[in-house]
Amino acid sequence: MKIAVAGVGYVGLAQAVLLAQRHEVTAVTTTPAKADKINGGVSPIVDREISEYLGKGLKLRASTQAELAYKNAELIIIATPTDYDPERNIFNTSTVEFVLDLVGRVNPDALVVIKSTVPVGYSESIVGKFACKRLLFSPEFLREGKALYDNLHPSRIVVGRPKGGMATKEDAELFASLLTEGALDKDIPVLFTNSTEAEAIKLFANTYLAVRVSYFNELDTYCELRGLNTRQIIDGVCLDPRIGAHYNNPSFGYGGYCLPKDTKQLVANFGSIPNKIISASVAANDERKDHIARMIMSRAGGGVIGIYRLTMKAGSDNFRESSIRGVIARLRSAGASVVIFEPTLKSDEFDGIPVVADLDEFKRRSDLIVANRMEPCLSDSADKVYTRDLYFRD
């Protein structure tokens, strides 16, 4: 089968690699450098499994020639970024619509699957607006740095058809079969829904994770201010099998590509529908960063505060929505002197803050080191590290 995938981020590239094990796949990007890397067997994103699979003779090529790729494809997967627009309180779906418009002009009969995260009700709302006749929505459930792994070992597969659309049950079953065919696990739960239900599954799932992160962060705030051993309490709580010991490691707040924008979008989707927990998760995340900044300022004593890494977690190259950036903003507002160690940056400053490239120099210059996640390279400076990482994992 000839497949085109629009977008080579975590979602798009993981999908392309998964399907290219058995099918001819063209990964479409607007960045020539990324296309060159993929065609040279090098992953443009940090993902160990993707890097390994790119060297396994996949039927995969990357291209910047979108029109040609879509024209020749039987299946087109849209995995372009949909950032949250805080002024409009909605995902910016312009990248999705750009692809839909082009596909509608060059290949209206192709099966089109939206993988990008969209507002609840979006797919149904665009039925008839573009010439694409067969449209599906299928949410992704991936972790940064583990995108291909989570495609190879999926927790579930969800495929939704918009009401009023022309995509058939057979179309949905075909796409689900392609995903299960490429996975390593067998007996994967597959759920067929309408597209609005599929969109809601995605947002409610991520918001639950955000609520869980916020819960354990608030537990940690309580313990830190009361002088209690947070780990003892979390261990005792999580031994209840109904709760479990996952997503329980305190942090500076939830962040990354999905949780911040997905929670805000779900709050916006609620509109006038009564809710407390969903909207509280957003407020709780802001309050957590307020608390962390206060604790850092109280410990810094006017000295230089060193920020160890802008990324959310080990193995990630994303710091666009990292919680530490919110903490930094609060520290700067309080007049703190800040330096940053972030080896992925090629500049000597970030948002006007000095970036120290050498780790040893960073340690020497920092009177207090702030680390969302503790790493072994900080062990020799542990006495001046502030972190809430209790389990040394994400």
Q: Looking at the annotation, which residues are catalytic?
A: 258
| Residues composing the chain | 394
First-to-last alpha carbon distance for the chain, in angstroms, is 38
Alpha helices (H) in 192-350, listed in sequence order: 195-226, 230-238, 259-270, 277-300, 323-333
Q: Angle at which helices 169-182 and 10-19 pack, to 10 degrees? A: 80
Cα–chain center distance at 257: 3
- Report d(CA 214, CA 348) in Å as an integer: 33
Supply the DSSP symbol for 314.
T
Decide: 269 and 203 in contact? Cβ < 8 Å.
yes
The token pair at 294 is 């206060």
Tell me which residue has tokens 């058995």. 22
- Report d(CA 377, CA 360) in Å as an integer: 10
Beta bridge partners of 386: 370
Name the maximum alpha-carbon separation found in the chain. 65
Which amino acid is present at 250? P
Q: Are strands 368-370 and 304-308 parallel, antiparallel or unpaired?
A: parallel
The token pair at 162 is 């918009």
